[in-house]
A and B are shown apart, each in its own frame.
Chain A
Amino acid sequence: MMRETQHHRNMRPMAVDLSPAPGEKRILLEHLGVQGIRRISVYESKGGYNALKKILEKKLSPDQVIEAVKGSGIRGRGGAGFPTGLKWNFVPKDQSKPHYLLCNADESEPGTFKDRVILEHLPHMMIEGMIIGAYAVQAKKSYVYIRGEYTYATKIVEEAIKEAYRAGYLGKNILGSGFDHDMFVHRGAGAYICGEETGLISSLEGKKGWPKLKPPFPAVEGYLKCPTVVNNVETLAAVPWIINNGDKAYSGIGTEKSTGTKLWSVSGDVVRQGVFEVECGASFQTLLEDCCRGMKDGRKLKAVIPGGSSAPILTAAEAMDMTLDYESIASKGSMLGSGGMIILDETRDLVQVLKNLSEFYHDESCGQCTPCREGTGWLMKILHSFTEKQARPIDLELLKTTSNNMIGRTICVLADSIAMPVLSYIEKFPEEFDRYLSESSGQSSLSEKLQAKELL
């Protein structure tokens, strides 16, 4: 549902090289290069919808499906890393209220573009995963919440859903099982906060994307106050593989606590940017040297943002010492997050980088909680005073106290998502701030400039 303008015919898949790279272990992306894989017939020829058939024809119970997903150990791939099987298990078993499954395709964490690859090329893998998930939690309706800007992906997913209806995988009495399920696309309209699961629910309810306090968790009281599961695109797309190959096969890949593979979106100062599927627990060097062919123009690595811009920054030494799993990255004080990795070389000015990110979070704060609405603005203004060379020595402390007064004091984690990075940049790269301080006049005329909108 989009008005077609003269630009319609220029809509196309993401312009990056998606051919397999050395160092990858492709499970989800195994058939990515197959011509026409976004069509149902080609997807079926590669074993597509076999997982759904297996469940419905062998009459596996919803609980058996949940057990398999639990056994696989897969954790949510959107950012929080919560075990998917556990999330499904929280949904009440009774049907006193309708249940819903929501696929979070609002991909908007800066540095992240991996769901787009699934949406644009492998929509049926996600749809099959959604139908299986819906069966597991006994949801009669599901929605794919796609960010409004992803117009091409929306078109592809809408076509794929139509194909799935025609093939009898959606609608009434799916494959003669008695299970009914309807699936719809719901387009967002440009708001980062709608990627937060309760913000997404508010948005789907036709409201501002304001997050809600938890508990109650969506599994108990979500969309329209009914039990609701919200899963990321990549998580759902992994479900058919788990059902086809068994939970043990999946948990046999990766590490004990980070099973399976992870899609990494890599951008920044590397030779080859792109989306790479790597076994959890692989070394950072695998991704940097093998997949991305190393640093661009032979420059040195300065810093890594490992899991989307909300992830605290890592020094080159920390990155070189980490493996690509939840625990290792957490042990360095950051997080795997969405797997949106941004590589920064020795020429990058990290105060400027942080200032850029502070603008993003200030713009995207939903405004509901004071520490976030005001705090993101303060952080941005103080960082502007650095880059305008008007910072006072006390401003470094002000950045820290402002951040500390934001963390953990809001309904959702958007405030933490800039406050924690701010603290990490100051802790790990103090010399970057010192350089600006030594060049600063200490005479701030910032407020006048901001009022004149010269800086914004």
Chain B
Amino acid sequence: MANSAVPEQKPDRETPKFSNEAKKKFDELLTRYDSKRSALLPVLHLAQDEFGSLSDSVVEYVAELMDLSPAQVTEVVSFYHMYHRHPVGQHHLQFCMTLSCWMAGSHQLYKNTCSRLGIKPGEVTPDGKFSVAKVECLGSCGSAPIVQVNEAYYENLNPEKLNRLINSCKEGEPQTP
């Protein structure tokens, strides 16, 4: 008899799952609020830290954890600038483009960086090291221009300092220039 078995269903992607440490953090976050949904923003930060980006499968996982629909989670993810649907570089360079930084030359720094690294927003360098983004006022108007790289602010920049910062990132030891 011919083997008519249905081909084994292979999941097209791994189902994400929090590490024990992240799960502990998740449980603790829920205790802070009088409604479960209130924990969504911090949980999304946690998920992004854990999985690198908030892909569809991560969104589905978070939705299930939070008793929400994937659509409810997606609309929140897409609303806030700091959540990424796709992975960013190991060094995510975010240039403030708003008035005081712009007056201090942030557009030129941004352009120089894009051409030096050969990328545009939404792209990552082939080695996975860098990505760039234009962002709005970061609250560093008195120490402009500024680039935020991951969690750190690099202030009072100029083209030389920015080059030194990028060089130090390339060497794997980011230094405040």
Please list the residues of chain A having a beta carbon within 8 angstroms of any beta carbon in chain B: 1-8, 10-12, 14-16, 98, 107-113, 115-116, 141, 147-152, 184, 186-192, 203-209, 224, 265-269, 273-275, 305, 309, 340, 342, 344, 348, 353, 356-357, 359-360, 363-364, 366
Q: Which residues of B contact A147 (CB under 8 A)?
A: 139
- Give the contacting residue for B81; candidates A187, A190, A309; CB below 8 A: A190
Q: Are A188 and B41 in contact (CB under 8 A)?
A: yes
Q: Are A189 and B100 in contact (CB under 8 A)?
A: no
Apart from A224-B35, A267-B100, list 8 A-B contacts with CB within 8 A.
A2-B151, A3-B50, A14-B153, A15-B155, A152-B151, A188-B41, A203-B41, A305-B99
Let me know if B152 is at the binding interface, CB within 8 A: yes
Let me know if B150 is at the binding interface, CB within 8 A: yes
Closest B residue, CB atoms, query A119:
B139
Let me know if B75 is at the binding interface, CB within 8 A: yes
Q: Are A207 and B76 in contact (CB under 8 A)?
A: yes
Min CB gap B63→A, angstroms: 12
Query: How far does the alpha carbon of A305 sit from the alpha carbon of B98 in the complex, in Å?
Result: 14
Known contacts: A110-B99, A309-B99. The answer to whether A190 contacts B141 by CB under 8 A is no
For window 1-48 of B, CB contacts with A under 8 Å fall at: 25, 29, 32, 34-35, 37-42, 44-46
Can you sample 24 A-B contacts with CB below 8 Å?
Answer: A6-B174, A8-B151, A10-B174, A11-B151, A14-B143, A15-B156, A108-B139, A147-B139, A148-B45, A149-B139, A186-B32, A187-B41, A189-B44, A189-B80, A190-B82, A204-B41, A206-B41, A207-B37, A208-B75, A273-B142, A273-B143, A274-B142, A342-B99, A348-B103
Q: Are B152 and A151 in contact (CB under 8 A)?
A: yes
Closest B residue, CB atoms, query A359:
B97
Q: Are A208 and B81 in contact (CB under 8 A)?
A: no
Q: Are B155 and A357 in contact (CB under 8 A)?
A: no
Q: Are B39 and A189 in contact (CB under 8 A)?
A: no
Please list the residues of chain B having a beta carbon within 8 angstroms of any beta carbon in chain A: 25, 29, 32, 34-35, 37-42, 44-46, 49-50, 66, 75-76, 79-83, 90-91, 97-100, 102-103, 135-144, 148-156, 169, 172-176
Main secondary structure of the interface of A (DSSP, over half): loop
Q: Are A266 and B25 in contact (CB under 8 A)?
A: no
Q: Which residues of A contact B176 (CB under 8 A)?
A: 10, 12
- Give the contacting residue for B82; candidates A4, A110, A148; CB below 8 A: A148
Q: Are A208 and B76 in contact (CB under 8 A)?
A: yes
Known contacts: A191-B80, A206-B76, A356-B102. The answer to whether A265 contacts B142 by CB under 8 A is yes
Q: Are A189 and B141 in contact (CB under 8 A)?
A: no
Closest B residue, CB atoms, query A111:
B141
Q: Which residues of A contact B44 (CB under 8 A)?
A: 189
Closest B residue, CB atoms, query A11:
B152
Q: Are A206 and B40 in contact (CB under 8 A)?
A: yes
Query: How far does the alpha carbon of A268 sit from the alpha carbon of B44 in the complex, in Å?
Result: 36
Closest B residue, CB atoms, query A183:
B32
Closest A residue, CB atoms, query B139:
A113
